[in-house]
Structure 1
Amino acid sequence: MSRIELRHLTVAYRGHPAVQDVSGVFEPGSLTAIVGPNGAGKSSLLSAIAGQLKAVTGEVLVPPELRPRMAWLPQQAHVDRSVPLEVGDLVAMGAWAEIGSTRAVSQALQRGVDAALEAVGLGGFQHRLIGELSAGQMQRALFARVLLQDAPVILLDEPFNAIDARTTADLLALVADWHAQSRTVIAVLHDLEQVRVHFHRTLLLARRCMAWGPTDAVLTPEHLMQARLVAEAWDDDAPLRKEAA
């Protein structure tokens, strides 16, 4: 089962608090948006779930057999597009556990890469360099890599940021397909209207959990105002307090 539980999770970024004392559960097959003010710790929380950022206190509980099968799509800004890497090779990296660092891509895997690119509207782009792609095309390629992973849990960090409306609509359709397949999807998002329309559950974060549950019950004016007021009171130079669980 792809149940992910946060227990009094606190994480830090550059020695300062990013997420403090967050507890809750992402149920198997759930479709959850993580939202909140700038600096709320949304990406830090996703990184902690992905195992990229260690907890200061508390823990992220993930079944051991699930951890290596989680797909994580980082922000585009974290992808070095100056590397002379072909689109097909970028997508094939989704099967890294299969091909390793030296093994060649098999014919079966190449067919999988081709099918993933076709699914995101990039058929025929296999040999283009990633530095030649537009922002929307690059995001489609990253989604193709996630498709190839065939993961039960998918983590998306700002997947629709700075891309065109058509690409956003196409990729949202893929997210809906993943949810229909009972995969667990967790996405950091900024567009609250997009969240209201497409995501069933929402975690409103302002370094602490302000609300977590059905989207309509979370994205209320009262909760959003509370999160904004908390954000205005932040001291970004405050030391990290290690709180007891």
Structure 2
Amino acid sequence: MAGNLLGGGPAMIELDNLVAGYDRLAITPTLSGTIEKGSLTAIVGINGCGKSTLLKTLAGFIPPVSGQLHWRGPRPVIGWLAQRHALESQFPLTVYDVVSQGAWPRVSLFRGLKGDIRRKIDSALERVGLTLLSASPIEALSGGQFQRMLFARVLVQQAPLVMLDEPFTGIDEATSQVLMELIVGMHRSGQTVLAVLHDNQRVARHFPETLLLESQRARWGVTTSILTAFEHARRA
């Protein structure tokens, strides 16, 4: 991994012997490499290898156990989508309320949402197929509808860097296809996207780069070669 450049563009994040974990307990192998601006990268590996822990470390929610993480330039706004079970759905909020949160970094709570922001919110709701449910309480949503809502919030945010933690878990294939198209659209618009995934077939179809976490080491590079190595290791 050392010196590995993903995406072929300018660097956004540099990892220097970084190890992720909790309470000084290492979970991931040592990681050294570069995540490029505008890249689309999947993070894969067996359960318990530290995929979500690494993503939270990159997002700044938890500190590294050891090593360092460097940003090239100012740290960008991050569009974050957590695992479904990590989110609370009992707050008295509507779908529109949650999606509008994506605009908060650019607007004042006291000035309200202006017309251009409202149009972006309406557009995001339409793209995820939730226009008719915009006034519904979030506790009334199905799992797939809830995930669509969270994607709409990320769309409104338009963050340079998007991190998605298992975005397809617990939802039907039709919804997964809709959301995958949105991820591809984010990448095409120039956003950098990192996603923790379990479906290697989806990774192979849509993600140019892959970071594979194993118990003793990490493999990082072009998806086709990384997944081939992963399959060989599983059969060994």
Alignment TM-score, normalising by the size of structure 1: 0.85
- Please tell me whether the aligned partners of residues 75 and 158 of structure 1 are also in contact (alpha carbons under 8 angstroms): yes
1:112 to 105, 120, 126: 120
Q: Which residue of structure 2 aligns with residue 60 of structure 1? A: 69
By how many angstroms is 1:208 displaced? 5.0
By how many angstroms is 1:53 displaced? 1.1
Gaps of 5+ in 2: 1-9
Q: Secondary structure at the match of 2:212?
A: strand
By how many angstroms is 1:94 displaced? 1.1
Q: Which residue of structure 1 aligns with residue 230 of structure 2? A: 223
Provide the identity percentage: 41
Is structure 2 residue 199 aligned with structure 1 residue 191?
A: yes
Cα RMSD for the two superposed structures:
2.0
Which 10-residue stretch deviates more, 155-164 or 108-117? Answer: 108-117
Gaps of 5+ in 1: 230-245
- Please tell me whether the aligned partners of residues 30 and 218 of structure 2 are also in contact (alpha carbons under 8 angstroms): no
CA distance in 1, matches of 2:168, 2:35: 21
2:52 to 43, 49, 54: 43
Structure 1 segment 11-90 matched on structure 2, within 5 A: 11-67=20-76, 69-90=77-98
Alignment TM-score, normalising by the size of structure 2: 0.89
Task: Specify whether residues 207 and 59 from structure 1 end up closer, same or farther in structure 2 by C-alpha distance, changes over 3 A only.
Answer: farther
Q: Please give the per-residue CA displacement for 1:129-180, whole angstroms capped at 9, x wherever unaligned.
A: 1111111111110000000011111111000111111111111111111121
Aligned residues: 227
Q: Please give the per-residue CA displacement for 1:193-235, whole angstroms capped at 9, x wherever unaligned.
A: 1111111111000255431101111011x43454798xxxxxx
Task: Specify whether residues 104 and 208 from structure 1 end up closer, same or farther in structure 2 by C-alpha distance, changes over 3 A only.
Answer: farther
Q: Which residue of structure 1 aligns with residue 138 of structure 2? A: 130
Q: Secondary structure at the match of 1:65?
A: coil
Task: Specify whether residues 155 and 227 from structure 1 end up closer, same or farther in structure 2 by C-alpha distance, changes over 3 A only.
Answer: farther
Q: Please give the per-residue CA displacement for 1:2-60, whole angstroms capped at 9, x wherever unaligned.
A: 61111111122245322232111111111110000100100011001111111121122
Q: Please give the per-residue CA displacement for 1:86-137, whole angstroms capped at 9, x wherever unaligned.
A: 1111111112223355553333322221111011111122211111111111
AA partner of residue 157 (structure 2):
Q
CA distance in 1, matches of 2:133, 2:94: 9
Q: Which residue of structure 2 aligns with residue 176 of structure 1? A: 184
Task: Specify whether residues 92 and 226 from structure 1 end up closer, same or farther in structure 2 by C-alpha distance, changes over 3 A only.
Answer: same
Is structure 2 residue 165 aligned with structure 1 residue 157?
A: yes
